[in-house]
């Protein structure tokens, strides 16, 4: 289908413009021309072409500048550069600026037709994949909102009723009833916990994380986490310790998600720790990266189970207060930061999770 396909040729050379128009005459493309960059850009805004051929060497604004502007106006417009001085450098430069391909003058009508066909196919595929990506994103959002509203909200309501009944506010409860109600409440609590973790996991969007990268101080992240976890650690008699040099360079990351990942690691270190044990967070600069380790001297993980612990829903020993999602959340967050995470562990001796993060640009 070539109907309604709009092509714009921006070239200061009249004979070149005419030659292109003639080549396209057999197809039913709607073809327009412009003799300079400014007129060309104006026409792009007006007619919204599918394909633009741009001469690199023009008086006034250059072909490269026109390419940049086209990308800003509509990144789905496909561009082909016409160059009379096809040095590899200018061709590479134009492709870096977003051009799909380049044509070297003089070119034959056959070459123009072929490159046009391929460029239009590329545009069709780009539009299709953008549409599918948007659709997938919408479905994901709809699913998240369905899970949180249709599943979580009623469960929270049921949980509150249990609290009212168990608190004796709805009349007396026999011991037998209390036991059953308490067991049911634990099940509901677990389900709510699972939904919360699952929602966290589905909300981690790598693209969003990359957009929010900022310079972050590791000490301040762990100070917040230790404050949050102090009570739980005390209940298990676990000492929390930080061994981070004061002059440690900042890292590049998204504060919210990194805090969540490190919180999960500290939370595990406490939950799988032994009464009277300790958890140590240390950090140092290593080969231009920042290495952060979270070590506990808890129950440890058997060697044959280690390859699976970052998988969704995996638990070495199923426990009522765990979902098997914590480490997959950590892994996803680290992947989005292009950070690596490793674990070493020995049963009955403890585990160490080590993360290698990128230094902030300001520190380089
Ligand atoms: P959860 O803790 O909710 O089960 P995670 O994904 O955080 O889920 O962890 C997966 C499994 O890895 C846990 O069930 C546990 O068996 C093991 N694990 C994680 N961290 C530790 C740790 N610090 N010490 C011992 N085992 C751990």
d(CA 93, CA 293): 43
**Any residues with CB less than 8 A from the CB of 155 and at least 6 apart, and which?**
188, 191, 192, 195
Distance 109 CA to ligand 1 centre (A): 65
Residue nearest to atom 13 of ligand 1 (CA): 315
Q: Is the Cα dihedral 250, 251, 255, 260 positive or negative? A: negative
Cβ burial, residue 271 (10 Å; 0-12/13-18/19+): middle
Distance 172 CA to ligand 1 centre (A): 40
DSSP 8-state symbol, 5:
-
pLDDT score of 86: 59
**Any residues with CB less than 8 A from the CB of 44 and at least 6 apart, and which?**
8, 52, 70, 73, 74, 77
**Any residues with CB less than 8 A from the CB of 243 and at least 6 apart, and which?**
280, 281, 282, 283
Distance 38 CA to ligand 1 centre (A): 61
**H-run or E-run covering 357:** strand 350-358
Ligand 1 binding residues, C-beta < 6 A: 264, 268-269, 272, 296, 298-301, 309, 314-317, 322-328, 351
* DSSP structure string for 173-192: --HHHHHHHHHHHHHHHHHH
Residue nearest to atom 1 of ligand 1 (CA): 324
Distance 10 CA to ligand 1 centre (A): 61
Mutate to test the pocket of ligand 1, among 315, 317, 328, 343 (most ligand atoms within 8 A of CB): 315
Residue nearest to atom 21 of ligand 1 (CA): 268
Kindly list the averaged pLDDT for each block of 10 residues, start to end, along the chain of length 364. Answer: 83 95 92 96 96 93 94 95 78 89 92 97 96 90 84 92 93 94 92 87 80 93 96 96 96 94 97 97 96 98 96 87 90 95 97 97 77
Mutate to test the pocket of ligand 1, among 189, 301, 305 (most ligand atoms within 8 A of CB): 301
Tell me the Cα Rg of the chain: 30
Distance 112 CA to ligand 1 centre (A): 60
Strand, coil or helix: what is 243? Answer: strand
Among 65, 125, 141, 120, CA closest to 98: 65
Residue 316 Cα: closest atom of ligand 1: 16
Structure tokens, 258: 């990194």
Mutate to test the pocket of ligand 1, among 307, 324, 348, 352 (most ligand atoms within 8 A of CB): 324
Angle at 308 between CA 306 and CA 313, to 5 degrees: 130
């Amino acid at each position: 289908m070539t109907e309604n396909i709009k092509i714009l040729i921006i070239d200061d050379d009249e004979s070149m413009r005419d030659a292109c128009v003639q080549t396209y005459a057999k197809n039913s493309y709607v073809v327009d021309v412009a003799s300079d960059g400014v007129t060309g850009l104006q026409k792009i805004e007006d007619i919204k072409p599918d394909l633009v051929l741009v001469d690199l060497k023009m008086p006034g604004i250059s072909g490269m500048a026109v390419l940049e502007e086209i990308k800003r106006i509509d990144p789905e417009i496909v561009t082909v550069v016409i160059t009379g001085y096809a040095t590899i450098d200018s061709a590479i430069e134009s492709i870096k600026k977003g051009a799909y391909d380049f044509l070297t003058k003089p070119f034959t009508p056959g070459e123009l037709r072929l490159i046009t066909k391929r460029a239009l196919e590329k545009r069709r595929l780009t539009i299709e994949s953008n549409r599918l990506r948007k659709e997938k994103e919408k479905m994901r959002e709809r699913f998240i909102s369905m899970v949180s509203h249709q599943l979580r909200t009623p469960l929270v309501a049921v949980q509150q009723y249990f609290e009212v009944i168990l608190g004796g506010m709805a009349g007396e409860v026999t011991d037998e009833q209390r036991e059953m109600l308490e067991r049911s409440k634990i099940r509901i609590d677990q389900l709510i916990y699972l939904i919360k973790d699952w929602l966290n996991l589905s909300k981690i969007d790598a693209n969003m994380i990359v957009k929010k990268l900022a310079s972050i101080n590791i000490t301040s992240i762990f100070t917040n986490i230790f404050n949050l976890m102090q009570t739980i650690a005390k209940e298990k008699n676990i000492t929390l310790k930080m061994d981070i040099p004061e002059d440690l360079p900042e890292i590049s990351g998204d504060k919210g998600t990194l805090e969540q990942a490190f919180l999960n690691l500290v939370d595990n270190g406490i939950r799988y720790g032994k009464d009277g044990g300790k958890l140590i967070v240390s950090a140092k600069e290593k080969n231009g990266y920042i290495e952060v380790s979270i070590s506990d001297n808890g129950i440890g993980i058997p060697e044959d189970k280690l390859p699976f612990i970052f998988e969704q829903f995996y638990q070495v020993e199923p426990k009522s207060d765990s979902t098997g999602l914590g480490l997959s959340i950590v892994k996803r967050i680290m992947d989005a930061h292009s950070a690596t995470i490793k674990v070493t562990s020995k049963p009955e001796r403890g585990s160490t999770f080590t993360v290698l993060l990128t230094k902030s640009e300001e520190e380089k």
